[in-house]
Structure 1
């Protein structure tokens, strides 16, 4: 009787505790499809990339079917298993974080189920808990450096998603308790669907005071922890699997909505209206000449803590603090030089301040005022151009996102691509 009462008390206490936490139900994202038809399409795409690399084909003469293949299967992705492509995303400037788990299922000799699989940006692998039974109480912990950009979105690939059979055979998570810095934050109720599941957080997670980067580095790491509360039973295995957990957020580089970009014909176009294939004006630092350059990739992001820069001709420009501008002496300048150097991997960035002189279309302008903006705004940037690494925003020469020099690797078709930040 005493044991029975104790168990009831434990259940009631757990229920009361869970009721105090808000429940978050994710938004359903893209449905997974790694079937035969998709595999064949990827083979065609890879062959097409190889033909382009060997100059058997030209980007200018692709058929409608070939263009549709690249629209469907982005050429910046190395394979169909990639979670993120080689193009720009939050991870371009987000830096590294670590993941640990309370247990891992032992390798079967061919495959492993380690914690690292949660952050390898591949849908082909999965973390599987190693506890006997369904893994109730097992946890995943993500640790972030104090300077790490803030998180606003969490994306789950729940279950072993490499195939529908593997997904059904293995158990999937039903409910997770989410903790921030080991303090209970919410109950996440995942659906039993073969799709990505996305959580948009009410407030960003991470350090919001980012004015003094050196002081920020002295703070402790912060963490996000997920504890398994309940599961959906697998058809064949008790083991509970999660293929991937990744993030999106703030504090990487971009320009505010409404920024006017100078096109190759000297007309102006709002940055949010730009499209891949548009021809813009670009400055060649080596020759000192303006040249036409074609946009190959664009990106947008929500940001907080922007700055508004006012120049001596009355023009204003709103951007992130680490966005680089071309100074009078052709050096790069920004409000946060250390972060610009780290994220873009360019050297000798100088401090942008009142009286700094920057390059514009005609000669140079002087910064007369810098104002901080606290509210969130959607921002935009040009990621890649057919030539040069510059464009003209509100008349000021600025740098594209791809100024950072990525680590390189060769994929199966011999093409050079960016490594993803993990």
Structure 2
């Protein structure tokens, strides 16, 4: 009996090991490669707001149907911390989880729905995440609030990968492999906080931007 139990235990461990999630390391980028102003005057002074992904990008054809989170920090002085803030092209807003601790286990989930688009041929997909970690409104706010150190990604509720993020104020990218969005189906991507970089002042963990690059647009 002990031999059978031992064999079962070893077999079970082998299966778990073989199904270990892939770990993906974020890459440091420059804000200047992703942000641009509306225009510039004759002296070179910028005009208007600083825009994320100015011009055409994956979003010229791709889109996110809806975004939700397991929690969000309560609105304060007219400022909200909705999960939609992570996908609004604005570095000055952020999704901030709403737990009293560092938000380990909290998540943000994106839904891609092409099920009702008759002319859609299944060509769209994503392959890279563009991420502004923490509350990027300014450097002091970023330092005071906590940032994400690691995210566990679920594709349609099944574990997909572990993302190891950088503790950096500027944009970082993560190549996650090509994820295609099939016809007549809804695809969900969930990002669960598993580790954090602690803020100087607040436990609240923030993500200012979690957006995508992909295929099937151009």
> Could you tell me the TM-score, scaled by structure 2's length?
0.80
Matched, 1:251 2:206: no
- 1:116 is matched with 84
Conservation of the 8 A alpha-carbon contact between 1:105 and 1:113: yes
Runs of 4+, deviation exceeding 6 Å:
none
Change (3 A) 1:176 1:95: closer
Deviations 1:244-300 (A, max 9, x none): 1110111113xxxxxxxxxxxxxxxxxxxxxxxxxxxxxxxxxxxxxxxxxxxxxxx
Deviations 1:213-267 (A, max 9, x none): xxx2xx22001110000101100001000001110111113xxxxxxxxxxxxxx
Cα distance, 1:126 vs structure 2: 0.5
Conservation of the 8 A alpha-carbon contact between 1:31 and 1:194: no
3-state DSSP of counterpart to 2:194: strand
Matched, 1:233 2:207: no
Cα distance, 1:31 vs structure 2: 4.4
Deviations 1:391-415 (A, max 9, x none): xxxxxxxxxxxxxxxxxxxxxxxxx
Unaligned runs of 5+ in 2: 1-12, 115-119
Conservation of the 8 A alpha-carbon contact between 2:126 and 2:213: yes
The residue correspondences of 1:266-285 to structure 2 (distance < 5 A) are: none
- C-alpha distance in structure 2 between counterparts of 1:201 and 1:174, whole Å: 16
- C-alpha distance in structure 1 between counterparts of 2:21 and 2:64, whole Å: 29
Change (3 A) 1:207 1:108: closer
- 2:8 is matched with none
Cα distance, 1:132 vs structure 2: 1.4
Conservation of the 8 A alpha-carbon contact between 1:93 and 1:252: yes
Between structure 1 and structure 2, the one with the greater Rg is 1
- C-alpha distance in structure 2 between counterparts of 1:43 and 1:197, whole Å: 23
- 1:339 is matched with none
Number of residue pairs matched by the alignment: 192
- Residue from 71, 91, 100 that aligns with 2:68: 100
- Higher-helix-fraction structure: 1
Deviations 1:180-211 (A, max 9, x none): 11111111010111111101233x11236xxx
Matched, 1:21 2:44: no
Unaligned runs of 5+ in 1: 1-12, 33-41, 49-61, 209-215, 254-422
